[in-house]
Structure 1
Amino acid sequence: MTGEVAGGRVPLPQRTAEARLIVVARAKRAEDYDRVLDVLVEAGIRSIELTLTTPGTFERLPALTDRYGASVDLGVGTVTSEAELARAIGAGARYIVTPVTSAALVAQAREAAVPIVPGGLTPTELFASWSAGASAVKIFPAGQVGASYLKDLRGPFPDLVAVPSGGVDLDGAAAWLAAGAAAVSVGGPLLGDAFAGGDLAALGTRAEAFVSLCARTAH
């Protein structure tokens, strides 16, 4: 088990919560993870979501955990079924991310004491996951609403732990964190073309900029 249930809710992993930044690594194949993760880890990234849209993620996760697990929380994202969730937990995922609202997945993760961040956009979807005991809720796609949306949600849901995801760039990350997001989930604006053979030095520079921003806006 990776967490302790407090009041029926498994908190986000400590490193992820302190970093306030999750990098979504969506590669064409799992063999491409290492060269990119090496740069991210060197730049100070401490939480990385590996997506199931990348073939071979389950098989690669144990080796990646051996390589990076001492300094980085490796989660599994794009989980949409109970079978996938069970396999992710078995492979050593430190947390689970799903793009959907599912009380069944939340219950399964809580039973295993593994943090889970389910996705949603409407107040009804987000409240359903939060009231089911999610560790946090993923506002997705965040780029369609903007940071002011979280301020509106704070009215009826003042205790909501939210992680915006989808189209969050550096300026957007600053705005979401200022609006009260617990962390930001970042993909393309940080990774760019790194998984397509892009400049890894430029990747490191972008990653350092996000790490610095999130550190400056820490609670």
Structure 2
Amino acid sequence: MTFEEALKACNLVAILRGITPGEVEAVGETLIAAGWRIIEVPLNSPEPLKSIEKLVKRFGEQAIIGAGTVLTPSQVADVAATGSRVIISPNANPEVIRATRAAGMVSLPGVATPTEAFAAIEAGATGVKAFPAESIPPLIIKAWKAVLPKEIPVLAVGGVTPENMTAYSQAGAAGFGIGSSLYKPGTDLATIAERAKKFIEAMRAA
């Protein structure tokens, strides 16, 4: 499954910040059963590379596993060694983008302005992450979409809820990163399953 296929199947990215290697497979299984196809483990989680490796080994055929909060080219290399295929960052560092593409991986840097978005695309970004979406309303995404290359997906991340997904979709957002409203350390599997289902329903409605 390619990143594009996964995004088409379910345009939601599960951001599991703070997850531990001991719980990651059970949470991954819960999300995949609910229909999610892209899972991100941020590198500021405990033993993130171990969690990513476990997800890749167990679910690599069913889902795209990525790393988030990737800030340096050396971190890109560490993540590439796990078999992960997506690098997601809160910022747009051209060196990180170039290292990601050189490793044959999908690059999704965070941007907050059209200037940053175009610079990221020039460096080779596969798509861009509008971050934090709380401060980038749908109206602004719509304006970005009018000028950015059509093939570059814009994902809204940060403050996305089942209630505001339709507005972002109508503005042209191709997908959504969902963090603490889906998973926080200590959230039980039943709650994660319920939230995962609500987001899937909202995605279909959007």
TM-score (norm 2): 0.91
Of 172, 176, 198, 1:209 maps to 198
Residue 132 of structure 1, CA deviation: 2.0
Of 123, 133, 143, 1:132 maps to 123
Q: How many pairs align?
A: 205
Residues 154, 61 of structure 1: alpha-carbon distance in 2 compared, 3 angstrom cutoff: closer
- For 2:180, the equivalent position in structure 1 comes to 188
- For 2:73, the equivalent position in structure 1 comes to 82
Q: Deviations over 1:38-87 (max 9, x none)?
A: 22122111111111011211123222212122211111111000000011
- For 1:177, the equivalent position in structure 2 comes to 169
State the AA in 2 paired with 1:203. Answer: I
What RMSD in Å do the two structures reach over aligned CA positions?
1.9
**Which ranges in structure 1 are unaligned for 5 or more consecutive residues?**
4-11
Residue 181 of structure 1, CA deviation: 1.0
**1:155 counterpart = 2:151:** no
Residue 158 of structure 1, CA deviation: 5.1
Helix, strand or coil at the partner of 1:170: coil
- For 1:67, the equivalent position in structure 2 comes to 58
Contact 2:37 2:63 in 1 (8 A): yes
- For 1:18, the equivalent position in structure 2 comes to 9
Q: Deviations over 1:133-152 (max 9, x none)?
A: 21100110011122111012
**1:94 counterpart = 2:85:** yes
TM-score (norm 1): 0.86
Contact 2:133 2:158 in 1 (8 A): yes
In structure 1, C-alpha distance between the alignment counterparts of 2:77 and 2:7, rounded to whole Å: 21
State the AA in 2 paired with 1:128. Answer: A
State the AA in 2 paired with 1:116. Answer: S
- For 1:9, the equivalent position in structure 2 comes to none
Q: Deviations over 1:73-121 (max 9, x none)?
A: 1111110000000110111112110111111111112222211100110
In structure 1, C-alpha distance between the alignment counterparts of 2:9 and 2:29, rounded to whole Å: 20
